[in-house]
Structure 1
Amino acid sequence: MKLLILIFIGIVLFLIAKSYKTEKFANIKLDIKEKFEGDLMQHEAGLLVALMAKVAKADGQVCELEAQLLKHTLDDISRHFENQDEIREKLKKIYDDEKKSFDNTIQICKNLYTLTRHNYQKRVKIMEYLLNLAFIDKEFSNTELMITEDIANTLEIKRADFERLINAFEMFYKQQKENAALSLEKAYEILEASKDDDVNILKKKYRNLVKKHHPDIIAGQGASQNIIDEATAKLQEINEAYELIKKHKGI
């Protein structure tokens, strides 16, 4: 099964101030595409998608990033089959069906273990992929922990490797949260404002700073080009800070 080996090599971090995502595999050139017409629940691709459904079901809701991850996964997997449109539809049906119940989770894991029993690193990558999905909404619930623990145990993932992966995701999102907090604090500082200021005060401070630093006004005062360039950069900084604060406050 070369397909999943390629797919799991592609798990990468992507910070678009969103989180992880799968890499697109358009750059991977396969000499031969697989022609598969059997039961995808007996294929690594189908079993992966089925486990994705179980993890997605754990928190009871599908956020935008989960939906994006699913879309990329279905696209990436199906692209490596000759009958890719048919495969994608079947994988989507597997996802929809398997999301209805946890009852057969262990059996799915056992089937996947049978196909990957001689490739421990592949199973670790599968686990990383599923934890990626669990963490993608920046929360890791007790239910998600329990379902991923069950999967890890059945796939015979070493506890140390399972905990290492969880710690890596937790550190990633903790750092992301801290960076966002620091950015917001800096935005208020640039706007010479306080987080307790109401909307009208924020708008007033923003407008005053724009008038003070607008390059056209500075140019009209006979300033040198260096001063005008500094004012242009400052105005951009003010605009970016104001937009961040507006987004944070839902203005």
Structure 2
Amino acid sequence: MRKFASWIGAGIGWAAGGPIGAALGYLIGTALKGAASDYSEFQADNIKNSSTQAGDFEISLLFLAAVVIKSDGKILQKELDYVRQYFVQMYGKQRANNAFKLFKGIVNDTSLSTQEVCYQIRNHMTIESRVQLIHFLFSIAKSDGHIAKIELETIQDISNYLLVSQTSFDALKAMFYNHTESAYQILEVSKSDDNDRIKKSYRRLVKLHHPDKLSHLGKEHLKGAQEKFLKIQQAYETLKKERGF
């Protein structure tokens, strides 16, 4: 198996082309001697694949996480350590080490356009997968216990580029803040809505965010999907208890 494909597990399809693919070719070629030719061959074999594979999602996450990390104009070792640990928890130590080599190269790359990367992602990735990307970005931003204002604004910009609705963005955001309105925001309803409206919204969200919809991304990413799904269930139980239905 080619070196690059082994780095990202299941390999990539559409991410081998466009601005992401161009950046990957450069970064891998400069990071590892001899890897550029491996990537060129891999790119030629896979660029025609338009369906999202596990590797496409992983590479997209690496690029967008780097954008969030750089958003405050400072690249702190503490923040890099948080992200690396997050990758270890999600992928395991060996795979995380390989991904983090590439991640550090992305962090130091100033030429890549966030907007162009997001356009490539949104043109190939389902809305369920794009929503999951935003959920992961919130997880990484919160990994130090606090989401800075600039990080929140950056994730909002990415969400807009990915055509994730403001309602969905606010619901994801509420999963990472503890306040009395969180349950309503997670369920995309308001206090003025009646119980039937809340039940209907809950059923819609359960269908939209069920982890089975992301099974094609691999078991590593299902944990995040399950966490998001659990937040929706917990929010519903909170309102059931509060309203007595």
What band does the TM-score fall into relative to the shorter chain? Answer: 0.3 to 0.5
Richer in helix (by share): 2
Point out the structure with max Rg over C-alpha: 1
TM-score using structure 2 length: 0.44
